[in-house]
A and B are shown apart, each in its own frame.
Chain A
Amino acid sequence: MSVSGSESAASANKPKYSKFTQQELPACKPLLTPGIVIGAFSLIGIIFVPIGLASLSASQEIVELIDRYDEECVTASDKIGFIQDSKANKACTRKITVPKPMKGPIHVYYQLENFYQNHRRYVQSRSDQQLRDKDYKDPKAVAKACDPEATTGDGSLIVPCGLIAWSLFNDTYAFSVNKKSVTVNKKDIAWASDKNSKFGSNVFPVNFQKGGLIGGGNLNDKLPLSEQEDLIVWMRTAALPTFRKLYGRIETDIMASDEITVVIQNNYNTYSFGGTKAVVLSTASWIGGKNNFIGVAYVAVGGICLLLAMGFVVLYVVKPRALGDPAYLSWNKEAAEYSH
């Protein structure tokens, strides 16, 4: 091995120095000192516990009334036959007593269980272009998107097509408080972007529910889709098999021990697949509806962090290790063990 060439040749071959290529970029090297550990856990605890308590108190103040009616509203033994009979009287009256005062607006929901709006074939069965554009009439694409609810028996297109629209929920609720009827405001229950952009204001229902089977409610042919808020709310597929969707709002307050009477038109068939239906009345707060979980979770995580902070304080007091103590280097530790 001999010494390489002349000095100038060597420096001509040397690559250009830059901090990036020589990995000497200025860097901050944060260190996890005991102070930072205790500080971090304490900070998380101090922030989380108040948030948790605030959420919990908001959730506790919400009044939520749930009334399941599908079992009791059908007295006939053949429930499916009853519900599919278009001539039967499906009206059902339910009474709910209000335990605590409810400040308006009171939100009315229908709650379904065991209804898989998140099934893959169900979720895909819609044509968004058809919903917003009245001139969109590509039959092949529509048939592919909305199969099996794309066309009627004789091949004419259904608007809006697909299983989601076809299975539209069509129970109705009429409320009266202490025998005085209250109106349910059904305006602005859908998201504004849906009404303005995704459902066309010049698209009207055509041939709706004229396929082989009737899956749900009917639509008013005279109203454009952008004003059919029940349909718009229904078509936002839910994440879980148990879900609620906004039906409307009662703008007035309801006092404690008031009696609410609900006249339900029990049209929707959940009996064929073992689903359940319920009507829900609930107030809302800044965090939304009644759910203690988020408050409890925050308090729990915050509490655990405070405990951990205290635990680490104890650890650092009982087993202190001076930072940068060279006795902990492995060659010194081995020597210490060896000498013992």
Chain B
Amino acid sequence: MTVIMRDEDNRIVLLCKGADTIIFDRLAKNGRLYEPDTTKHLNEYGEAGLRTLALSYRMLEESEYESWNAEFLKAKTSIGPDRELQLERVADLIEKELILVGATAVEDKLQTGVPQCIDRLAQAGLKIWVLTGDKMETAINIGYACSLLRQGMKQISLSTTAGDQVAQDAQKAAKESLMLQIANASQMVKLEKDPDAAFALVIDGKALTFALEDDMKNMFLNLAVECASVICCRVSPRQKALVTRLVKEGLGKTTLAVGDGANDVGMIQEADIGVGISGVEGMQAVMASDFSISQFRFLERLLVVHGHWCYKRIAQMICYFFYKNITFGLTIFYFEAFAGFSGQSVYDDWFMLLFNVVLTSLPVISLGVFEQDVSAEICLQFPALYQQGPNNLFFDWYRILGWMANGLYSSLAIFFLNICIFYDQAIRSGGQTADMASVGTTMFSCIIWAVNIQIALTMSHFTWIQHLFVWGSIGTWYVFIITYGMALKSRDNFQIMTEVLGPAPIYWAATLLVTAACNIPYLIHISYQRSCNPLDHHVIQEIKYLRKDVEDETMWKRERSKARQRTKIGFTARVDAKIKQLKGRLHKKSPSLTIHTVA
């Protein structure tokens, strides 16, 4: 980053700060006085985990500045796709022949809770890569701090030799050397026999430019996937986006990018889910993201609690929506076969309008907003539950088609049971027969009851809101039909509930029968599934219901510790590796002990 200004003596000064390798490339021959000392200091700072910058300056002549400024203005005011390129070229013209001043180092501590968060996310089964613009030493230090790297991990470093930017041959040579490094590393990983061995891949920005080229990127991706953690240092914002795209397209998995600065915007937009951390570095990341949080550690709650709930809610909502509309819509189609295919609907227009707007929409909304299969504490305590989402247990074709089949069955049951019950005989003890309005209103009542009882069976978490919406929807239907029946506009539905259907036992009998007939198959299905192959959240719900977590605390603790994906990163993995190491040493020691005692 460069600033050109006039000082008090009216001279033009150019001040420049940036990453050390970039600045060192642009120094004049006589500006390298402090280069060896600065390099030593920078390495010390990097090993201490500090973020470093190099500072430099140059004095400019008036004429030199004038001519350059003219070019700069031209580039700034140009419109077109290559404006960026032009600006870069012009900046390049003046940012050279610099004199090195020194270096700065800033302690940028990790936020509170970051190592624990990374540990939990790893236990939930997520793979974590780090993409940073910092030096390799700083990045490795951060990696050790949050246990992405640990002692005992085999580190694979991919780098190209410095200073080979210009010559074509040199570039080709660098690329070939990188390809060789990747091939050797892949071979080493393949030949590794120990299942608990972990590899860490560290690659810097220069090597990444070659590794992301089309002919090498698949090799690079395959190697990276074998490693437990990947740290890319010295990456430019564009490379962050390219790496994200490589993972997204190469592996077909869902990617989430989290960042806090303007240099993370490209990556955040490229990933499937972008999370911005609002804080000291400004709001660009937040504005470009899908979700924004204020601290990194909230990412755990975002994914493991809200991500888990959201997945289940959306899956259930969509399946239920299909179910209820299939149930409702197909009955209208069946009636056409009996009405000469003339397009006459068996329901009044108002019923059809209100069906999706008032009478069945609110329970679904309450399901989508409030449903919790397990509480937030359980989600956090059992990270393995998160995997129900990535494994797509709740929105696979089996479930979708099952719900649609349920809708088809319900529509058949509702229609044909009602037609057969209200056939041609009298419906009241007074001998009156049913007309189309009576049959339509009864059929519609059956649909409302069946569909709302169905959602009550689906829900597992009933707040007062769910009760209000579900039972209220049924009640609203009756309030509506009585109110609608008071207006002459309702034609044949005039006073239908108060005069014709309400006092008719056959109406209530039909409603009860059809509601039961529609919901019994689903009840059978869930009863059988719960008893014979319960899912994890079913078992945990039962444990909580019977308070076994309070009675048998050891069992609860044991299950919580087992409920995680096998992972090689995070401090829990570090602890496990240490335990394994100690066990190994103990095992070696103990044969000699037994010999002693026997003797």
A contacts, CB < 8 Å to B: 1-4, 13, 23, 25-34, 37, 40-41, 44, 48, 51, 55, 64, 105, 107, 109, 111, 116-121, 123, 128, 132, 189, 191-194, 197-198, 236-246, 249, 282, 284-291, 293-294, 297-298, 301, 304-305, 308, 312, 315-316, 319, 321, 323-326, 328-332
Contacts and interface: CB of A to CB of B under 8 A. Distances in A.
B301 to A, nearest CB: 11
Per CB-CB distance, the 3 closest pairs between chain A and chain B, nearest first, are A289-B425, A107-B431, A289-B426
Given A286-B505, A287-B505, A120 B343 contact: yes
A324 B539 contact: yes
A325 B424 contact: no
Nearest to B339: A118
Given A13-B294, A191-B500, A315-B531, A329 B563 contact: yes
A328 B539 contact: yes
B433 A109 contact: yes
Contact of B509 (A37, A243, A287, A329): A287
Given A107-B431, A308-B524, A319-B531, A31 B424 contact: no
B339 A116 contact: yes
Interface stretch (B10-18, B66-74, B543-551): B543-551
Contacts of B528: 315
Contacts, number: 243
A239 B439 contact: yes
B279 A132 contact: no
Interface string B491-504: 11011000110001
Given A4-B280, A23-B372, A297-B417, A332 B562 contact: yes
Contacts of B524: 308
Best-buried of B294, B425, B429, B536 by chain A (most CB within 10 Å): B425
A193 B534 contact: no
Interface residues of B, number: 94
Given A25-B370, A26-B463, A326-B539, A284 B419 contact: no
B112 interface: yes
A293 B421 contact: yes
Interface in B461-495: 461-465, 488, 491-492, 494-495
Contacts of B424: 111, 240, 242-244
B78 to A, nearest CB: 37
Contacts of B114: 1
Contact of B436 (A2, A40, A239, A325): A239
A191 B503 CA distance: 13
B133 to A, nearest CB: 13
Given A25-B465, A128-B491, A293 B420 contact: yes
B426 to A, nearest CB: 4
Given A27-B463, A118-B436, A301-B513, 14 more contacts: A2-B280, A3-B112, A4-B295, A191-B432, A238-B434, A238-B436, A239-B436, A246-B431, A249-B431, A284-B430, A291-B423, A297-B421, A305-B516, A331-B563
A305 B512 CA distance: 14
Nearest to A34: B531
B536 A1 contact: no
B296 interface: yes
B425 A25 contact: no
Given A132-B488, A284-B431, A237 B436 contact: yes
Contacts of A323: 542, 545-546
